[in-house]
A and B are shown apart, each in its own frame.
Chain A
Amino acid sequence: MSFAFIVFLIIFILIFILKIPIPLGFFTATAIYAYLSGFHLSIIAEKMVMGLYTKYILMAVPLFIFTGNIMNTGKITEKIFKFANIIVGKFYGGMAHVNVVASIIFSGMTGSALADASGLGLMEIEAMREQGYADNFSCAITAASATIGPIFPPSIPMVFYSMLSGASIGKLFLGGMIPGLLIGVALMIYIAFIAKKRNYPRGESYAFRKAIAITISSFPALLTPVILLGGIYTGVMTPTEAAAVAAFYSLIISILFYRSMGKKELIIIFINTLKMTGKISIIVATSFGICFVITNERIPNVIAEWLINITNNKYVFLFIINIAFIILGMFINVNTITLVFIPIVLPLIETLGIDLVHFGVVVDLNMMIGLSTPPYGGLLFVTSGISGTPIKSIMKEMFPMLLVMYTVLFLITYIPQIVLFIPNLFHF
């Protein structure tokens, strides 16, 4: 281990102790490493700009963020919510079921869990509060259902994984479909059980005419995932182009059809998109420097040799990886984990004969569950923030839901066909 790498590791740890903004910490750690290793320091700038310039798929990220913001500001989210209500609202614990179904539909339009929890989540928690649900349960189910967002296609973390691993983004998106739906179904089974136990109310039952009227009014909003996913899988558009078309379509229906967006709202959407892009994409840009350090120090090889000495059984390996990523996910931001830790284990995936698409979906689901896992799951903070409910009380309701989601994670880890069944039907 070189002196430069030891200093790099110390700075890397300091990023987490001193609360240095993660991308700026990455930049600093790489710059100091390059300086001490005797590299020409232009390599840092070169890695950042060339990474952004050549990875075309990355441009899908701001476009997915843009679509999510349009949906949350326009009336699209509200339409999805109303549509979900006519489907499952009439059951016991109806509003909690609506929460899950709305998240599944929303997840087909944007690839971000935080966009789901912060936009749709507010509406869901308020509606559940009106019907007498405890706030901590409402927050917990909102956080849990929001995890479906980046599992069901499209998905921002999968875009990053595809860029790092070379796995087909189309296949990754398809691979996330069944696991995303499985999480939804598992959560609904749990809700049905809890609703009976706690006597949660039935929601509104709609007359046929009213249900049809709501469906017609929601139809343009519901077409968004059809356009997005249809565009990708018919081979008509690349995922990045499909993201642009979905954003354009949601903009048009918000302005012309729902008439819910004026100049003021549009400015807010653009500013929010700028902020989110500046927040997420810069981690990607600076992580190219981290990847350079990791590769230069041959860290993936060292880790691979070490892990192979422990086991060369892929099922044990997947177990170890799942535990490691669950722990990381409890503390570290999803994008940081993807961009820093995935490249370290990637060489082993191929050595052990694990399918890249299968592994990508497993890790994605794992990290999304991490977003809802105490003590520092981001979704807990979002739902707590928008509802004013203390995190501690949300945690109490969260634990059984986490068990439900970990069961699904276990299933997709050890039965790869759950993930690979749909991608194998397509040829890209």
Chain B
Amino acid sequence: MKKFGLFILNLLEIYIPLSTFIIMFLTFILQIFYRYVLNNPLTWTYEVSVLGFLWTTLLGSCYVRRNHSHICFDIAYQNRSEKGKMIFRLMGNSLVIIGCIIGVFPTYQYLLDMSIEKTPVLRIPFSIGFLPVLIFIILIADHSIYDIVLDIAKFKKGAYKE
């Protein structure tokens, strides 16, 4: 079960955004080749590359969150004791979870509303094109909850005693 969960996480946070980045890059090259070499511009490449960029950004940032590599400001945090740091993390993660909870259902509703609108050339429903924003909110909440659970477990084991 744990292995399957990790596979799904890797699929969403690594394999899919890596693929969308490669697709975005290759589409660009194709677009330039057709426009400047064959003098026959392609109309669909804009949609593919821009959606590739969107998927790469939103899903890739979940992977960054998993590795705790997002850009942070840590002057106040670094000067705290281990217990103080844990309290800061609990507060920070809780705030992010509140944001995600507030945002998740309206985002789902937004995607449902967008399902009737389609991209002009490829006719891809925007509910699919913009789906990563919902996945982003869910995965960020998931990582934040996981970190809280880990911190509490460590606290119970006495890892943060002064």
Residues on A lying within 8 angstroms of B by beta carbon are: 11, 14-25, 27-32, 35, 40-42, 44-46, 48-49, 52-53, 56, 58-59, 62-63, 66, 236-237, 240-241, 244-245, 247-248, 270-271, 273-275, 277-279, 281-285, 331-333, 335-336, 376
Q: Are B57 and A281 in contact (CB under 8 A)?
A: yes
Binding site for A on B (CB under 8 A): 14, 17-18, 21-22, 24-25, 28-29, 31-32, 36, 46, 49-51, 53-54, 56-65, 67, 69-77, 88-89, 91-92, 95-96, 98-100, 102-103, 105-107, 109-111, 113, 129-130, 133-134, 137, 140, 144
In Å, the complex CA distance between A44 and B14 comes to 24
Determine the main DSSP class of B at the interface with A: helix
Chain A residues with Cβ below 8 Å from B75 are 16, 331, 376
Q: Whose C-beta in chain B lies nearest to the C-beta of A241?
A: B32
Q: Is the CB of A19 within 8 A of B25?
A: no
Q: Is B106 a contact partner of A45 (Cβ separation < 8 A)?
A: yes
Closest B residue to A281 using CB positions = B57
- In the bound complex, do residue B140 and residue A24 qualify as a contact, i.e. CB atoms below 8 Å apart? yes
The answer to whether B77 and A41 touch across the interface, beta carbons within 8 angstroms, is: no
- Given that A28-B99, A48-B133, A279-B69 are contacting pairs, would A53 and B77 also be in contact in the complex, using a CB cutoff of 8 Å? no
**Partner pick for B92 among A19, A52, A332, CB 8 A cutoff:** A19
Whether the pair A18, B49 counts as a contact (CB closer than 8 A) is no
Query: Once the chains bind, are A278 and B17 in contact (CB under 8 Å)?
Result: yes
Q: A27-B103, A49-B133 are in contact. Are A62 and B69 (CB under 8 A)?
A: no
Contact B133 A275 (CB under 8 A): no
Q: Are B99 and A31 in contact (CB under 8 A)?
A: yes
Q: CB distance A278 to B60 under 8 Å?
A: yes
Known: A62-B21, A245-B29. 7 other contacts (CB 8 A): A16-B75, A19-B77, A22-B70, A27-B140, A44-B107, A248-B25, A277-B60
- Cβ–Cβ contact B70 & A23, under 8 A: yes
Instruction: Check B60 against A20 for contact (C-beta < 8 Å).
Output: no
The 4 residue pairs across chains A and B that have the minimum distance between CB atoms? A278-B60, A28-B99, A21-B70, A41-B106
**Complex Cα gap A376–B140 (Å):** 27
Q: With A and B bound together, what is the CA distance between A331 and B144 in angstroms? A: 25
* Choice from B29, B98, B113 contacting A244 with Cβ under 8 Å: B29
Instruction: Given A23-B70, A63-B25, A244-B32, verify A274-B107 contact (CB < 8 Å).
Output: no
User: In the complex the two chains form, what is the Cα distance from A44 to B136 in whole Å?
Assistant: 12
Known contacts A27-B103, A42-B106, A59-B50: A279-B70 contact under CB 8 Å: yes
Q: Are A66 and B25 in contact (CB under 8 A)?
A: yes
A41–B103 CA distance with the chains assembled, in angstroms: 6
- Nearest chain-A residue to B93 (Cβ)? A20
B106 contacts which chain A residues (CB < 8 A)?
40-42, 44-45
